[in-house]
Structure 1
Amino acid sequence: MLTIHAADLVLTGDSTELPGGAVLVDGDRIAMIGRYEEVAAGHPAARVRRWPGVLTPGLVNRHGAVLLEHTYFPDDTFETDELGAEPITGAALADLAPSDARRGNSARRCTQKLLARGVVAVTGPLTTPTVRTAVRRAGLEVLASVGAEGPPALDPFAGGAPANAFLSPLAAGGPARLAVFDVPDEAALAVRGAVTCVATVIGGRLLHRRR
Structure 2
Amino acid sequence: MLTLHADSRGHAYLVRGERIEAVGPLEDLAAAHGHARVRAWPGILTPGYVNPYGNELLERTYHPDPREADALGTEPLTGAALAALAMDDARWGASARRGVQRMLAYGTVAVACEPLRVRAVQDAVRRTGIAVVPRPAPAAGPPSLNPFARRPEAAPPRRPGSAAHFAVFDVEDETELAERGATACVATVLSGRLVFRRR
TM-score of the superposed pair, with normalisation by structure 1: 0.87
Corresponding residue number in structure 2 for 1:7: 7
1:149-169: per-residue Cα shift (whole Å, max 9, x none)? 321111112221xxx421211
Distance 1:132 1:106 in 2: 12
Question: Among the aligned pairs, what percent are the same residue?
Answer: 56
Structure 1 unaligned residues grouped into runs of 5+: 9-18
Q: Give the corresponding residue for 1:21.
A: 11
Pick closer, same or farther for the CA change 1:195–1:75 going to 2, 3 Å: same
Counterpart CA distance in 2 for 1:169 and 1:149 is 25
Structure-to-structure mapping, 1:38-117, within 5 angstroms: 38-77=28-67, 79-117=68-106
Whole-angstrom distance in 1 between the partners of 2:174 and 2:16: 27
Within 2, Cα distance between the matches of 1:184 and 1:150?
Answer: 30
1:201 aligns with 2:192: no
How far did residue 68 of structure 1 move?
Answer: 0.5
Aligned match of 1:170: 158
Following superposition, the deviation at residue 97 of structure 1 comes to 4.1
Aligned residues: 197
- SS of corresponding position for 1:208: strand
Encode CA deviations 1:139-185: one digit per residue, 9 max, x unaligned. 1122212442321111112221xxx4212111122221111011111
Residues 25 and 204 of structure 1 are in contact (CA less than 8 Å); yes or no, is this contact kept in structure 2?
A: yes
Contact 1:62 1:146 in 2 (8 A): no
Q: Supply the distance in 2 between the matched residues of 1:103 and 1:190 (Cα, whole angstroms).
A: 33
Q: Deviation per CA, 1:8-63, whole angstroms, max 9, x where unpaired? A: 2xxxxxxxxxx321111122221111111111111111000000001100321110
Question: What is the distance in 1 between the residues matched to 2:164 and 2:85?
Answer: 39
SS in 1 for 2:55: helix
Structure 2 unaligned spans of 5+? none
Task: Answer whether contact 1:119 1:200 (CA < 8 A) is retained.
Answer: yes
Distance across 2 between alignment mates of 1:107 and 1:28: 23
Q: Using the alignment, how far apart are the partners of 1:84 and 1:28 within structure 2?
A: 36
CA deviation string 1:82-114 (max 9, x = no partner): 112221111221222422221211111111111
1:210 match: 198
Q: SS of the counterpart of 1:40?
A: helix
**TM-score, with normalisation over the residues of structure 2?**
0.92
Is contact 1:123–1:146 with CA below 8 Å preserved after alignment?
Answer: no
- Calculate the aligned-residue CA RMSD, in Å: 1.5
1:186 paired to 2:174: yes
Of the candidates 115, 140, 160, which is equivalent to residue 149 of structure 1? Answer: 140
Asked if 2 retains the 8 angstrom alpha-carbon contact of 1:54 and 1:183, the reply is yes
Q: Which amino acid aligns with 2:159?
A: A
Letter in 2 for 1:175: A
Q: Are positions 1:131 and 2:121 aligned together?
A: yes
2:130 counterpart letter in structure 1: L
* Contact 1:156/1:194 (8 A) holds in 2: yes
SS of aligned partner of 2:87: coil
On the 8 A contact 1:122/1:141 being kept in 2, the answer is yes
